[in-house]
Structure 1
Amino acid sequence: PLRRLRRFAFYCQVLLQVLIILTGNYNFFNALTIVLAFSLLDEEHVGRWLGRPKKRQGSAWPPSLGSVLATLLELSTYGLLLYWTVQYFGLEVNWDKKLLDSKVAFTYHEFMTWLRTVTLPLVGVAFLSLSWEILVAVYRCACVRGCFWKLWATLQGAIMATATVSLFAVSLVPFTYIDHESNGKLWPGIHQMFGAVERFQVVNSYGLFRRMTGVGGRPEVVLEGSYDGHSWTEIEFMYKPGNVSVAPAVVAPHQPRLDWQLWFAALGHHHGSPWFTALVLRLLQGQRDVIRLLQVDESRYPFSARPPTFLRAQLFKYWFTGPSEGSPGPAPWWRRQHVQEFFPTVSLGDPTLESLLSQHGLK
């Protein structure tokens, strides 16, 4: 309910998302997060952006007890955030290098323990905040003049309150997915409500990566085609890393679905991505619609004249090159290291390909 804290959270979140947009390709996800963050702002603050500031009454002096408590709570929040940031991320000023060094000062187990401790209390705080807003809305309805308009305002408030409470209750199930123990402590009726509306995707869960991919090298699947099974040509995609000399494409907020899915496929075995077998089959068949997912300009597709006889896929790890790496002249953007074969060499009618298609129910 504190306006300044909400504004602080809004600008911090927007700054984080903008920095992520500038340093990584996460499609439209960052834009969606920014849109959701706008719910933290009120009409008065947005009105200032639009050049329609609302006149506010001057602050009373001496301030009321509620105002003093709100200010103390706000300052305490800022202080705790600063303390925890320094404490748990090991912030230190390196005066020699004139840098701000940081390191994660907690373990995964400690993080999960903390998550288990705060998840349900956060639900309680959210419930109290929602209850306060509903009570304020009820009070405003009671202040409306005229019997008809008061009844109309009460009806509107009741509908909105019911919808809001229902949505809040349903959202608790995916919210507590981050800690299964807390999820199991929810009232069974909430799980039943969520099950009834789950297919409509009204609410969604919040996922956490245990570690960011790419820290030890970005895994990438590289497709290769051949006519004779000896001389292989890499198949370039429009967006994903491949050729080490090609700069990474900035595509946000567009989401290239195939390139995006290949990133996830590279994190595991090809059996975990059965669609990849179907992709190989369509490329061997030379289907134009599928080829255009790789390259809109078919002249950049090395097998545009005739489909490849053989296809295979290799798994590489990619790293950005440093300023001093590379040979004289234009330095490559990437350096890469071969890890292993990702998909075996196959051709149309090949028993291996036929077996994989049957296993995945693609025949």
Structure 2
Amino acid sequence: MIVSELPMNPSVQDVLAAAERAAGLDDHGGDGFRESLGGVVRLLNEDADLPAERRAAAFGQLVEVLAGRLRLVEDDRRHPGIGREEVTAPLIVIGFGRSGTTFLHSIIAADPDNRAPAYWEVARPSPPPGLAAADDPRIALGDRDIESWLADLPGFITQHPYWDQGGSALMECEGFLVYDLRNHYPIQLSKIPYGTSWVADRDDDVVRYEFHRWFLKHLQYGAPPRRWALKGVDHQFHLAGLRAVYPDARLVWAHRDPVQVCGSLLAVISMLIRGTGKMGDPAEFARAWLDRQGELVDGILADPFAADPAICHVRYPDLVSDPVGTVRGVYDHFGLPVTAEFERRARAWLDAPENRPDRHGKWTYALAEYGLDEDDIDARFAGYRERFGV
């Protein structure tokens, strides 16, 4: 196995060379990812508490991601048409995790005129998924990925039941950015300790979304033309770059009471961290995390792009009480038709027992576990609540 040839504490060049051997290729498509690569290599080499087998597994997963990037660059060479693909007016659900974004995305994805990326496509995007057959073996490999990941995180399926769709589960845009090492997505990089700061803080959001579009073109190539239905939980922090690259994007911003969002997110992130690394003091972690979220929200409130009237805002209570009516309102906002077939599929999806949000049990959490109470969050996010009516 090529990864087993890595030394115990590999250098950046060792990792790159292993990826090149794995892919049989050597064109990485630029150097923008190397600063983040240096960060994760240092993290893994310097973490004295990381067992040797976990360190080896993490480096192995990193090599797989970089080999995937090499294959994408090679696909560009083999299929010049990829670069000529046009991504036109995508529907993009944005908003904090735990705000109903996946629920909303799932309903929009039921529209036969839309196409949403699946996990298997993002996890193994080469050769272009648009050229794949219905029984492509990458789908089964995606099923096994998620089964293995969930087995390491008992109870996680309760908080995100959509993962029971395996390799066909809808994927977030953050998964695209793994190949530029701009995001630590918990499945694709599940062996690397979660919650650690190794991604380089690069002030180049236009480049971020140029990479996003480049990746999306790979997914699109060879497939019947349909409108993209996307979802990302970080887009609201990068609106200027998003608009620069996708000026015609139809943005749907989901909002929920910050008390509910923060409590649920803390529980999710804590589970991920405990599953792959070390948590430390929960109250200290929660306070630092809350401070960071507050800074991000302050940035949103000061961002003129957040006031763009072209954005369609959706409140979580409205989405839950009348999902089809809410989506109809989204479509009306953008002047899109809600066809009879779309409404039939949306209602069928909502009525199906296998799509019930509590099908794996009720997700519970408590702020008190993190030394916080509702007043802490209410005070910190008062501006957000007032601005967006939650």
Interval of TM-score (by shorter of Structure 1 and Structure 2): under 0.3
TM-score normalised over the length of structure 2: 0.26
Query: More strand by proportion, 1 or 2?
Result: 1
Report the structure number with the largest CA radius of gyration: 1
